[in-house]
Amino acid sequence: MNQNYDFEQEFIVRDYECDLQGIVNNSVYLNYLEHARHEFCRSIGLSFENIIHKGIYPFVARAELSYKTSLKSCDKFVVKLRVEHSGIKYIFYQDIFRLPDNKICLKSVITTTSVINGKLAVADVIVKAIEKVVEQRNK
Amino acid sequence: MNQNYDFEQEFIVRDYECDLQGIVNNSVYLNYLEHARHEFCRSIGLSFENIIHKGIYPFVARAELSYKTSLKSCDKFVVKLRVEHSGIKYIFYQDIFRLPDNKICLKSVITTTSVINGKLAVADVIVKAIEKVVEQRNK
Amino acid sequence: MNQNYDFEQEFIVRDYECDLQGIVNNSVYLNYLEHARHEFCRSIGLSFENIIHKGIYPFVARAELSYKTSLKSCDKFVVKLRVEHSGIKYIFYQDIFRLPDNKICLKSVITTTSVINGKLAVADVIVKAIEKVVEQRNK
Amino acid sequence: MNQNYDFEQEFIVRDYECDLQGIVNNSVYLNYLEHARHEFCRSIGLSFENIIHKGIYPFVARAELSYKTSLKSCDKFVVKLRVEHSGIKYIFYQDIFRLPDNKICLKSVITTTSVINGKLAVADVIVKAIEKVVEQRNK
């Protein structure tokens, strides 16, 4: 895996994800990105369900998406992800590459945060897990 | 309203609901039917959220869908609904007609039931509300 | 693979497919079934795109779905499929089993047909491919 | 209507649009925004289908979304839209307000462009329609 990313998740386009224009609808990319983030979180011990049970409510505060190349029916692709912790934010840099030619399809920055006891705040359990990932990457 | 139906909900096809073939994807009709059922339930005082808060978990046990005419981009249509109570089931007959020509697009029977305290059971609050609707229809 | 099925496709539930009740929304099962059908068709040389380019427009005429056990966040499952050709219909028996305990989640019969030159008709290329599968199964 | 916007489209949240957390899934906002854009375009004589038939392929090049307040089951809301033409871009400023309290839910900038004869280019028919809207607003 490229050193700039912490996680990769492969997908295949499903026909029902394509729209009138014969390409993946632009909203579906947010589904791909969410699924890759949740799989990444589980891979570092952070299950979305467990986090919510602890009273931590993570949510997306901001999404910036640059669409580069449209994905089509049956295309294979990979979502690559890098995470950063900054103040009360957990920031995910997520890029999508078509396979096998690695053509860039989407570049995105997904800024998330969490609500604890009704207030915007980061959760220790999340911050520690993320810092461990960042440490590992910079080795 | 036709005497055979208890409720009507109008919709317009949204472009993102159409797929590669330029028609509404067959799964999306279940979304339309669910939204019409929930709006009907609210119209007779049964909010989906309130029902769940009372420990009643309604769910779809069976769906039978006959696709007659495909809906397309920008089509207007109406979901018409008739409800019956039978044993531990609440049965919804839901038909979709394109507007303004009233061409039949879908005929369906959606059989629902509910779980209360971990067991399949009907809820008094739901049965009473449905029986009132049936009474009204048969007047 | 069980001798009663011609094809299997494994999936994992994605969080965005779950609804308010914390379970996979009933419409999403039709997405799973469609993706499994299209993957099966490709595996026997019938690409959905190629079929349309030949002027053959397949569509779902009828869907019967029996919901047995709800799928939840992160559940793994398999869609198993058996196909039959009957008159102007291609019929898909599709069942969903949760993994690894093989609990049945959904039983379904998806009846499809096709339009060629504006008329309901089966396509030779599809019928031949399906008959080959049926032959293989009955050996 | 507020002088800063060119178009408004009202919606109601449908239960199937909500996810595990009981709120509208963040990808669904892109569906709302697309539907509002397409309805706006139709209102100024630009049908999405007609545009494609003319060989003009519009697409979203960039989306920036700031999530402010989550929409919930049954919430009513309005998408308000302002359009600008700039070089080879058509830019849509789209904000979502909950009704009836007008609380801001989402602020977004959706940058679109089009492909004509395989090249990035604006289409005269679109530019003229947009300029008419801008003129009207500035009166």
Residues C22-45: tens digit of each pLDDT: 899 999 999 999 999 999 999 999
For C21-117, where are the alpha helices, taking DSSP H only? 28-43, 48-53
Amino acid at D117: N
Whether D2 has a pLDDT exceeding 80, the answer reads: no
The average confidence (pLDDT) of chain B is: 94
ipTM: 0.93
* Residue B47 pLDDT class (50, 70, 90 cuts): confident
Rounded to the nearest angstrom, the minimum Cα separation between B139 and chain C is 33
Predicted local confidence at residue B3, as pLDDT: 63
Q: B94 burial class (0-12, 13-18, 19+ CB within 10 angstroms)?
A: buried
Q: Does D1 touch chain C (CB under 8 A)?
A: no
Judge: A34–C47 Cβ closer than 8 Å, yes or no: no
Chain B residues with beta carbon closer than 8 angstroms to that of A23: none
> Which chain C residue shows the shortest CA-CA distance from A28?
C16
The pTM assigned to this predicted structure is 0.95
Whether B130 has a pLDDT exceeding 60, the answer reads: yes
* Residue B71 pLDDT class (50, 70, 90 cuts): very high
* Residue A110 pLDDT class (50, 70, 90 cuts): very high
> Which chain B residue shows the shortest CA-CA distance from D34?
B16
Rounded to the nearest angstrom, the minimum Cα separation between B48 and chain C is 10
Please, which chains are in contact with D (at least 3 CB pairs closer than 8 A)?
A: A, B, C
Whether D72 has a pLDDT exceeding 70, the answer reads: yes
The full length of chain B comes to 139
Q: Does B47 touch chain C (CB under 8 A)?
A: no
Q: From the list B16, B31, B74, which residue is nearest D34 (CB)?
A: B16
- The CA distance from C98 to C78, in Å, is 6
Say if CB B59 and CB C70 are below 8 A apart: yes
Q: Which of D15, D19, D75, D124 is catalytic?
A: D19
Q: From the list A16, A35, A47, which residue is nearest C34 (CB)?
A: A16
Judge: D62–A61 Cβ closer than 8 Å, yes or no: no
- The CA distance from C116 to C52, in Å, is 10
- The CA distance from D127 to D9, in Å, is 22
- The CA distance from A122 to A81, in Å, is 20
Q: Does C59 touch chain D (CB under 8 A)?
A: no
- The CA distance from A96 to A35, in Å, is 13
Judge: A22–B27 Cβ closer than 8 Å, yes or no: no
Q: From the list A26, A28, A61, which residue is nearest D63 (CB)?
A: A26
Predicted local confidence at residue C41, as pLDDT: 95
Sign of CA dihedral A17, A22, A25, A26: positive
Say if CB D64 and CB D109 are below 8 A apart: yes
Q: Which of D49, D66, D67 is nearest to D58 (CA)?
A: D49
Regions of chain C with pLDDT less than 70: 1-3
Chain B residues with beta carbon closer than 8 angstroms to that of A18: 19-20
DSSP per position, B97-122: EEETT--EEEEEEEEEEEEETTEE--
Say if CB A80 and CB A102 are below 8 A apart: no
Judge: C31–A14 Cβ closer than 8 Å, yes or no: yes
Q: Which residues of A68-100 are buried (b: 16+ CB within 10 A; e: fewer)?
A: ebbbbbbbebbbbbbbebeeebbbbbbbbbbee
Between D47 and D107, residue with greater pLDDT? D107
Predicted local confidence at residue A53, as pLDDT: 87
Judge: A15–C48 Cβ closer than 8 Å, yes or no: yes
The average confidence (pLDDT) of chain D is: 94
Q: Does C22 touch chain D (CB under 8 A)?
A: yes
Judge: C60–B48 Cβ closer than 8 Å, yes or no: no
- The CA distance from D53 to D10, in Å, is 29
Q: Which residues of D40-69 are buried (b: 16+ CB within 10 A; e: fewer)?
A: bbeebebebeebeeeebbbebbbbebbbeb
> Which chain B residue shows the shortest CA-CA distance from A15?
B20
Residue D83 backbone dihedrals phi, psi, to 5 degrees: -115, 145
Q: Strand pairing partners for C75?
A: none
Judge: B49–D14 Cβ closer than 8 Å, yes or no: no
Predicted local confidence at residue A49, as pLDDT: 78
Please state the rounded mean pLDDT for residues D37-42.
96
Q: Which of A111, A137, A104, A139 is nearest to A5 (CA)?
A: A137
Judge: C16–D27 Cβ closer than 8 Å, yes or no: yes
| pLDDT tens-digit series, residues A61-92 | 999 999 999 999 999 999 999 999 999 999 99
The shares of helix, strand and coil residues in chain B, as percent rounded to the nearest 5, are 30, 40, 30
Say if CB D40 and CB D80 are below 8 A apart: no
Q: In 10 A of CB D102, how many CB atoms?
A: 10
Predicted local confidence at residue C3, as pLDDT: 63
